[in-house]
Structure 1
Amino acid sequence: MSEENVNEASDIDVLALDLTRVTGRFSRIAGRMAGTGYSLIAWRVLAELEQSGSARVSELALQQRVAQPSMTGLVQRLEGEGWVERRPDPEDGRAALVSVTAAGTAALDEYRRVAADRVRPHLAELSEFDRATLARAAELMQRLSERIDDPRV
């Protein structure tokens, strides 16, 4: 491998680490005040169900890297709020599928709105060029997310 290819690979490695670190931190900070009463995991579960459709509790636990009993408790709490519902899994009568409800989508929309309200004044302080750069970065992050999540890639 040429020195140029090594430097390019190194640059890509650094960028991948930086994006992972910075986007995770940004999400945690922006959402910190937005979701009082619920953990970031709760909001991530609602977002995952909104994006991907229904899932078993075991799948949600695996995705969020929590123990299944913890996820069961969270799903029960979200169900109590009317934000998710469970129905029998047609492929396995012993299991249930969890899906987000209209009320859960509304709660998630409000969480996102409050988080965006927290970010907005800081964006206003940036130059128009920097805001345009972030808008482009958001487009690229969306595209990257779709590629990373696509099982065919």
Structure 2
Amino acid sequence: MPPQSRPEPSAPPYPGSAPDARLLTEAVTRLRRALRASIRTEYPWETLPMAQVELLQVLAEHSPARIGDLAARQRLATSTVSGLIGQMITSGLVARAVDPADRRASAVTLTEAGQAQLDAWARAHEHRLDTALGALDEADRSAVHDALPALFRLAEQLDDTMTQA
């Protein structure tokens, strides 16, 4: 069955839902699934679970950070983040040290190895997306490019909504 480039809007899945929201949900889900599957096929060295990648991304932006703060940012249980951080310490991707703001607590920082792994992960995804974008016609590439600012604003809106919840 050939892939559908743009599903046609159908009846909303629940009362009050917008077809655009449903289609965007489908598009984001398909993009994540395709990237996750292709990265393991084309770059077999890439074995980091997505939860660890997302923690590395947060630490690249907000480091040092307490485990509780990481858990809140990722909307995960503290015990889950603590377990992931333990695995990442063992792998040398992050380090735990005394929190300079509160000597009774510990903070996690990204190591050079963690930053290098995150950079390699990003380059692999960028290469994969660049190849896929290159296969699109100019109108579709332009549409994707033009949509990027709105997609970033949508992500910020979703983040703002979550922090207010």
Q: 1:115 to 1:122 in 2, by over 3 A?
A: same
Is 1:31 the counterpart of 2:41 in the alignment?
A: no
- Offset at residue 148 of structure 1 (A): 4.6
Shift of the 71–118 alpha-carbon distance from structure 1 to 2, 3 Å rule, reads same
| Number of equivalences | 143
> Aligned equivalents of 1:109 and 1:30: distance in 2?
16
Q: CA deviation at 1:88?
A: 1.7
Q: Which residue in the other structure is 1:57 paired with?
A: 67
Q: Does 1:134 align with 2:140?
A: no
Cα distance in 1 between the residues matched to 2:159 and 2:75: 17
Q: How far has the Cα of 1:98 moved from its partner? A: 1.3
The answer to whether residue 83 in structure 2 is matched with residue 73 in structure 1 is yes
Structure 1 distance, partners of 2:75, 2:29, is 15
**Unaligned stretches of 5+ residues in structure 1:** 1-9
Which consecutive unaligned segments of at least 5 residues does structure 2 have? 1-14, 41-45
Of all paired residues, the percent bearing the same amino acid is: 31
Partner of 2:57: 47
Give the conservation status (yes or no) of the 8 Å contact 1:28–1:40: no
Contact residue 41 and residue 64 of structure 1 kept, 8 A: no
Q: Which amino acid aligns with 1:145?
A: A
**Alignment RMSD (CA, Å):** 2.9
The structure whose RCO (Cα within 8 Å, separation 6+) is larger is 1
Deviation at 1:136, TM superposition (A): 1.8
